[in-house]
Structure 1
Amino acid sequence: MEYYRCPIEDLWREVNRRKLGLPLRPRDELSEALASDDERRGSAATTVETVIQGGFVPLSINLGHTAEFGATVLANQLIDEKIIYWTMNTFFPTIQLFFESGRSCTIDGGQLPDARIGLDSALHFKLTDCAHEEDGRVTNSLLPPTHSGPGTGMAIKEAVIAQRTSIALQPIHPDDAKRWTELDRPHTRIATETHTVVGIRLRGMDRLAYIWAKVKNTPATKVWSNVRIAGLRNDVPVPNVWQPERPIKPGAEKTVVVKDSLITRDS
């Protein structure tokens, strides 16, 4: 996130919360330190706390997405399912998990416009061992074909719904900014938002890691979007990335969806 337009009081408070050890530094240095910490630690840097809610279901649900992806299901229904493939953020702000049992589920984060699903780093690192599609690019499993058959999916050992409090950059209303001079008047503030996340612990992980959703462009009135588990079903086939005519080597990538504009300007 870009912190340069925040009040210096907010920057000091956030630097102290993260224990970065940068007291009484200029605004630019504090802003760069926070941005670097975001880059290095990801969602761990912006998380204030995460409180497990067990089988909690979000009170606010996008009914359009309920019709599209299915009704909300409880987290404990995913326990002991084995992930063999997943797709994320190709067309929608969702992550779809495909299981060895033949079932699949969609974790939907699209309550806010321009939201995107994200993963805590520990979960993302573990999931990349599996064949997957992310942002329109397919990556084959690092495991050789002889070790990627039945019985080798990544087992979900724990699944929960949680409420996470995260920092968010929100616009400052002009009336609230009048106490600053025009020269140093800030335009954004560091606030906190509470949002629903899905926690998963795979076999081999020592703790839960979380799936969350965040808008792409900040500052915004609402930055973090609630996520929910939806559409646990058995009628969606697993995408095939091992077509004989177009094989993908273990660990190799291939673009399947071009998300950027194909229109180029004449120079």
Structure 2
Amino acid sequence: MIYYGIHPQYLAQELQRRNYTSYGRPDELSEALQRLDETGGSEATTVCTVAVTGTYRPVEAVQLLRPKAGSERQIGRVQMEMVKVTRPRMAFGPTFDTRLLVGESITHWTLNTFTPTLHLSYDSHLSCTIDGTALPSAVLGMDDMLRTRLTDISHEEDGRVYDSIIPALTSSPRKRRIDSRIRILEAEMATRTSVAVKQFPLGAPALGPTAMLVHEEHVVLGLRLEGMKGMGYIWARVEREDGVVVGQRTWGDVRAAGLVELEENVALPFFAKGVGRGEGSVVVEKEGRVSGRYWT
């Protein structure tokens, strides 16, 4: 995240929140926070994470945001959000209770290949999608602890397929994926408060700060897998944080959608000869002549 243009007082407060002493010019403080983001991942920008009790329903989550008093524009924005969450999204299916995932064993997963989603396949022949499409131009991400554990098994991320690092019980490339699996011990929905940088819109005074630091609340999905001591969370965030202005969202809500049984004729990736454990190969090129997000 880019912290240039923020008032030094708020940069110092953010460094102190992360248990660091603030010292230096504003540019040095901004660069220090950016380095902490790069080394600490999403945990560095997390203020707090609180588990949602009971079943998470997107409509109820939006209703909590309804202002008791405010401008017609604010109330209208919340009403529009309620229309969006009640609109059926057939591409990924209806929202289901995340606790149903407890006991399932993940055999393969696909992240951000064409859409901001995480598709999980289980050895019970069920599958589901962690949907982050509620926020336009979003990408899905994971806390480092969860990502480190999930990359032990075969997966596809951003158009590239990676083989499992777990030794296979068979030499068959088609069955190698089944030999590596990770069991889900806990699953929950949670609300997370994260740091976000908002740029002032064009027309703001030329002198003074050009951006502000805020705390933004969003919905995340947590999993604790075999081999993990704590919960790791899946979150959605805009791809380019430096283009977010005041009034727009940096962090998006995720949901668990479409828990269904896989069809027998569904094609799952397997690896050709010569691809070793932990290695990968490109299956989708995402080079773009204009925006860089063009798929071929």
How far is the alpha carbon of 1:252 from its aligned partner? 1.1
RMSD over aligned Cα atoms: 2.1
Where do residues 172-211 of structure 1 align in structure 2 (5 Å cutoff)?
Answer: 172-173=200-201, 178=205, 182-183=206-207, 185-211=208-234
How far is the alpha carbon of 1:143 from its aligned partner? 1.8
Name 2:284's counterpart in structure 1. Answer: 257
Cα shift readout 1:148-207 (whole Å, capped 9, x = no counterpart): 5757520000000000000111122568x65xxx44x22211101100000000011111
Cα shift readout 1:229-254 (whole Å, capped 9, x = no counterpart): 001111353612135xx553211110
Name 1:41's counterpart in structure 2. Answer: 40
Where do residues 109-258 of structure 1 align in structure 2 (5 Å cutoff)?
Answer: 109-146=132-169, 152-173=180-201, 178=205, 182-183=206-207, 185-219=208-242, 220=244, 221-236=248-263, 237=266, 239-243=268-272, 248-258=275-285
How far is the alpha carbon of 1:214 from its aligned partner? 0.1
The 3 A distance-change label for structure 1 pair 4 and 65 is: farther
> What secondary structure, in the 3-state scheme, does the structure 2 residue paired with 1:233 have?
strand
- Distance in 1 (alpha carbons) for counterparts of 2:223 and 2:270: 25
- Distance in 1 (alpha carbons) for counterparts of 2:126 and 2:51: 26
Deviation above 4 Å: which 4+ runs of structure 1?
60-65, 147-152
Name 1:52's counterpart in structure 2. Answer: 51
How many residues are treated as equivalent by the alignment? 255
Structure 1 residue 12 corresponds to structure 2 residue 40: no
Q: Is the 8 A contact 2:99 2:187 kept in 1?
A: yes
Corresponding letter in the other structure for 2:125: G
The 3 A distance-change label for structure 1 pair 5 and 19 is: same
The 3 A distance-change label for structure 1 pair 161 and 260 is: same
Q: Is the 8 A contact 1:198 1:210 kept in 2?
A: yes
> What secondary structure, in the 3-state scheme, does the structure 2 residue paired with 1:143 have?
coil
Q: Is the 8 A contact 1:115 1:225 kept in 2?
A: yes
Corresponding letter in the other structure for 1:38: D
- Distance in 2 (alpha carbons) for counterparts of 1:226 and 1:196: 4
Output the TM-score relative to the length of structure 1. 0.89
- Distance in 1 (alpha carbons) for counterparts of 2:87 and 2:274: 37
- In structure 1, stretches of 5+ residues that fail to align are none
- Distance in 2 (alpha carbons) for counterparts of 1:248 and 1:32: 39
Q: Is the 8 A contact 2:164 2:177 kept in 1?
A: no
> What secondary structure, in the 3-state scheme, does the structure 1 residue paired with 2:29 have?
helix
- Distance in 1 (alpha carbons) for counterparts of 2:43 and 2:213: 16
Question: Which of 83, 92, 96 does residue 119 from structure 2 map onto?
Answer: 96
Corresponding letter in the other structure for 1:11: L
How far is the alpha carbon of 1:145 from its aligned partner? 2.4
Name 2:173's counterpart in structure 1. Answer: none
Output the TM-score relative to the length of structure 2. 0.80
Q: Is the 8 A contact 1:85 1:238 kept in 2?
A: no
> What secondary structure, in the 3-state scheme, does the structure 1 residue paired with 2:169 have?
helix
